[in-house]
Amino acid sequence: MRIAVTGSIATDHLMAFPGSFADQLIAEKLDKVALSFLVDKLEIRRGGVAANIAFGLGCLGLRPVLVGTVGPDFDEYRAWLHAHGVDTTGVCQSVLQHTARFVSTTDNSGGQIASFYPGAMSEDRDIDLGKLHDDIGGFDLALIGASDPEAMFRFTDQCREHSIPFAADTSWQLARMDGDQVKTVVDGAAYLFSNEYEAAMIEQKTGWTPAQVAEHVQIRVTTLGADGARIDQADQPPILVPPLPDAEPSEPTGAGDAFRSGFLAAIAWNLSLERAAQLGNLLAVHALETVGTQEYELKPAPMTERLIRAYGETAATEITACLP
């Protein structure tokens, strides 16, 4: 199964604040908030939702096609992705703008305040996903990840025009979309990915009930943080998959992207939806326990041991049999 992954390609600047954001907020002054946080450390890492997801898929042996726009500062990053099994045929280079930047500060309770500068990503709208599909001999699924909103709309339309199954992953671009725009990128998706908050926002903006959302997509996947993941299909009971019990969180950025990598890899291997969520949870924990979204390593023996502890021998056997 060949998967194209669209969305942001960025450099992450990750900082840690030793206190709590909540303790610094004054409720009656929120309309005039002006805060600066003295942070303890700064980590500069490779990131961007599309690159993170492609990295995880590449580490699992799937050779995903990364799609997006970068700046002239991308050569070292490109070499890193190649070394981890990512096909960058679909990556275009801007002559005007630098690669996107993500700047995030996390407090000691896991709260996060972040900003994102799109840079070259704003040119994603000029990519023709249908033409790329034809040029490289086709792909079986396109994940439409958070990017320039206009690019997301165009990619979704191009998937429909070329009969390419697509997964909708609006994530942080939900805040920029109105109800009709959300419907545009969700309706007809083979998979809809979101966290619990985003799931509620999708329902609020579209006016659809949870049952109606399930009717507009084939499979709805909702990550629940420390509670695992839920999978919904129209007229089917939900599949609830518990989390790994032994997670030791370090930095949350990229955990959701890693989940998508594991989930889609399992789908590519024709495993069940339950197994897909279990592998997704396992990769999410790998990212959660590592500073940097592409710094984790996947080693079969420790992966097997953790799967056995969390989900039992049968699940571990079925999943690890597919690992490269």
How would DSSP label each residue in 77-95? Answer: HHHHHHHTT-EEEEEEE-S
Bridge partners (DSSP) listed for residue 241: 229
Give the tens place of pLDDT for each residue, 287-316. Answer: 999 988 899 999 999 999 999 999 999 999
All residues at 6 or more sequence positions from 195 whose CB lies less than 8 Å from its CB, including other chains: 171, 222, 223, 224, 225, 256
pLDDT of residue 191: 98
239-241 vs 229-232, strand pairing mode: antiparallel
Low-confidence ranges of the chain (pLDDT < 70): none
SS3 state at 245: coil
Measured in residues, the chain has a length of 324
Q: For the whole model, what pTM was predicted?
A: 0.89
Which residues are the active-site residues?
Answer: 257
pLDDT of residue 156: 97
pLDDT of residue 68: 97
pLDDT of residue 41: 85
Give the tens place of pLDDT for each residue, 10-62. Answer: 988 889 999 999 898 888 888 888 889 999 989 888 999 999 999 999 999 99
Rounded to whole angstroms, the Cα distance separating 35 from 55 reads 35
Rounded to whole angstroms, the Cα distance separating 268 from 260 reads 12
